[in-house]
Each structure stands twice: as C-alpha cells, then as structure tokens.
Chains A and B, each alone.
Chain A
C-alpha cells in the first residue's frame, strides 16, 4: 500500500507531447516517517501512522510518543490490510509513485463561512424582475403547509460551508520529481496552499481516465 503525506502548492498546467493541456495540482510530498504501527492484537485494527515535516515545538507526551521515530509536526493514520515490512522509523518518499498511477487525496477543503443557499446548495434564487425586491438570492419555500406542519430534517438551507474533510479520488499522477519531492496530479485537490494532504493509492482501482 502506498500512503504518504504532503502539502498543496497550487495549480498549473502541463502539455503532453501531442499538445494536449492537462490541468495539474502541484503537491510537495514527503519525505515522511513511519511513527507507529497499529496491530490487530494490540489496538484492535491494523494501521500505520505516518509523520510529516520536522517539528520545532512538541509537548512532552508528543515527544514521548515520537522518541523512537523522528520528531514531526503532522501525524496521520492509514488503515492497511497488509502491514508488509513497514517499521517504525522507516522513511517514505515520493519515489514510490510513478506517472500513470492513480491516487486518492484527502484534505480539508477551503472554508466558506456561513454561506447562503445559492452558493451552498446551488439554489436558483428568485426572479430579478417582475416587481421583485429582496428576493434575488432568497431560498424560497422550505416545505409544505399544515401537513406536515414542520420542516423536514436535512432540508437544504443556508449554513456553514467548507472546512470539511474531502477526498478527491482517482487522480492520475502526471509527473514525479524525486529530487524536489514533488508530484503533479491531474485535477484539483481539496484545500488552499499549504493544506496537509493524505495521499494513497486509489481505492477504486486504476480505472479513471
């Protein structure tokens, strides 16, 4: 299993040899270190915990947890079916990815704050003309009348949007730069610049385009 952490740098485009433009996200990935291995017997499930970026300040419990590996700032856990030969302290880097691989990328999306129905749920808003005022971005009706006499749970309304954990799946790896620890994947990934991202081998199998 290929699991690693990285951060988003931004987007650009690359040309294929035939001149086709591919939109790509540039990610700085690893090097990461395996900080803990969780086993069925001891923890009830199998996972490897991976750390990324050197830490300059850690409290005592954090430092104690990491003392056998290197001191890192960000930790993420990946459930795995096969632990393979992973060991605590093992270094992992971009080298395990190749152009043409497919990956799933998880991160926290950009926060949009308290957003209205048009932005959050693609409501159409009200008419601009025919004597309307104050209705252009209004949500409209949220339900029927006396029956049921209430608004159903889960009715789409305005509210907090973004800052969610989002997975972009089946992204094609376009380029790998081992020297600069970069990978380029086709399409967009969650979050803003410097968002910490979990990158793993595609779950759906490499079927995407």
Chain B
C-alpha cells in the first residue's frame, strides 16, 4: 500500500512549480496568540528533497550580509503560498556551493528559455 495515500496529502494550489536554482517567494502563516498573519521569505531554492508528505525544500537568501536558509515542509498547513519569481539556470540539484560565495559570484543566471514558457 502506498503510504502517501493514507495521510491524505492535498496539493496546495497556491504552490507554484519550482526547481532548484529558482527564486521563490514563500508565504507562511504565523500564529501570534489569537491573530494570524502572513510572513514572506524570498530567496533561491538550493535543495528539494523527498517525495510525498515528507518532502521539503530549502530557500537561501542573504539578509543584511548574513546568509539565511529556511527549510519548509512542502505539505505543511502553515505554508500559505509559494510564488515563482524567476527561473534560474543551474547545472546541479543541490546548490551548496552558494554557501561559500558572496556578492557577484553568488548570483544565479536567469534561465530565459524556461521563463518564457
């Protein structure tokens, strides 16, 4: 039996398709006592892993000169939306080399062919 069919994972329609190297804007729901608000985190996807309920992806951004990485669970109910900002042109699936770079060399080229589609 397929374990993923058991826990009833529903695809969040507000998650756009993306792949490593793409720049995305992740919106998450944050609960503060009674109130709920949305928080955005924009950066480059440097890793996606797993499939089904357990899958996650990691987004990296450089904020005030400090590298920040956040890993999100793809099927988490706290994930409100993932918007694709820009297609990146990369040759590997795990972009860990970005951690050792900063400034100009840490940029990812835009993949114009995929952006057009």
Task: Indicate if the CB atoms of A26 and B53 lie closer than 8 Å.
Answer: no
The docked-state distance in angstroms from the alpha carbon of A13 to that of B52 is 10
The docked-state distance in angstroms from the alpha carbon of A13 to that of B75 is 10
Task: Indicate if the CB atoms of B76 and A12 lie closer than 8 Å.
Answer: no
- A residues less than 8 Å from B6 (CB atoms): 9, 12, 26, 177, 180, 182, 184
A18 at the interface (CB under 8 A from B): yes
Other CB < 8 Å A-B pairs besides A12-B54, A15-B75, 13 of them? A12-B3, A14-B7, A15-B53, A15-B77, A17-B77, A18-B31, A18-B77, A19-B73, A19-B77, A19-B78, A21-B73, A180-B6, A182-B6
* B contact residues, total (Cβ < 8 Å): 16
Task: Indicate if the CB atoms of B53 and A14 lie closer than 8 Å.
Answer: yes
A10 at the interface (CB under 8 A from B): yes
- B residues less than 8 Å from A177 (CB atoms): 6
B29 to chain A, nearest CB (A): 8
B66 at the interface (CB under 8 A from A): no
Indicate whether A9 sits within 8 Å of B1 (C-beta atoms), given known contacts A15-B75, A18-B31, A18-B78: yes
* A contact residues, total (Cβ < 8 Å): 19
A168-187 near B? 1/0 per residue, CB < 8 Å: 00000001010010101000
Task: Indicate if the CB atoms of A13 and B76 lie closer than 8 Å.
Answer: no
Task: Indicate if the CB atoms of A12 and B77 lie closer than 8 Å.
Answer: no
- B residues less than 8 Å from A26 (CB atoms): 1, 3, 6
B59-79 near A? 1/0 per residue, CB < 8 Å: 000000000000001011111
B8 to chain A, nearest CB (A): 9
Interface residues of B (CB under 8 A from A): 1, 3-4, 6-7, 29, 31, 52-54, 73, 75-79
A11-41 near B? 1/0 per residue, CB < 8 Å: 1111101110100101010000000000000
> For A14, A177, A182, which residue has the most chain B Cβ atoms within 10 angstroms?
A14
Interface residues of A (CB under 8 A from B): 9-15, 17-19, 21, 24, 26, 28, 175, 177, 180, 182, 184
Task: Indicate if the CB atoms of A13 and B54 lie closer than 8 Å.
Answer: yes
The docked-state distance in angstroms from the alpha carbon of A9 to that of B1 is 8
Nearest B residue (CB) for A21: B73
- B residues less than 8 Å from A24 (CB atoms): 7
Task: Indicate if the CB atoms of B7 and A12 lie closer than 8 Å.
Answer: yes
B72 to chain A, nearest CB (A): 10
The docked-state distance in angstroms from the alpha carbon of A12 to that of B7 is 8
Nearest B residue (CB) for A26: B6
Shortest 9 CB-CB contacts between residues of A and residues of B: A19-B78, A12-B3, A14-B7, A19-B76, A19-B77, A10-B3, A26-B6, A15-B77, A13-B53
